[in-house]
Amino acid sequence: MSISITSAAAEHVTRCLKDRGEGEGLRVKVKPSGCSGYAYVLDFADKVEANDAVFEEHGVKVIVDKENLSILDGTEVDYVTEGVNSYFKFNNPLVKDECGCGESFSV
């Protein structure tokens, strides 16, 4: 089981953690949501919990609760800029379907 992060996403997370002044890394979760089943939830983790899996790449820790690993296994976290918009993009090979608005997905 693994989660990866692109260099663009790692650079953005590094800047955000520096601006915050604290934090262990990027926490990635999923929650039941929307019309397709799940939605990604991002936050900054101030500490690693006992039930967390930690993946480190490009000097950034991606922290995932082990309960979410089966849904996130193989996911690449990217940070993209399109026009004036910048956002995190998830390349999850387990996704079978996404809702029309792109807010939720099913596996």
Examine the pLDDT at 100 and tell me if it is beyond 80: no
Q: Give the pLDDT mean for 19-41.
A: 88
pTM for this predicted structure: 0.88
pLDDT at 33: 81
- pLDDT-based confidence at 102, cuts 50/70/90? low
56/54 Cα distance (integer angstroms): 7
Q: What angle do CA 59, 78, 57 make, to 5 degrees?
A: 20
CATH tag for 4-106 (out of 3.40.50.1820, 2.60.300.12, 3.30.950.10, 3.40.50.11900):
2.60.300.12
* Tens digits of residue pLDDT in 77-89: 999 999 999 999 9
- Enter the tokens of residue 4: 């990866």
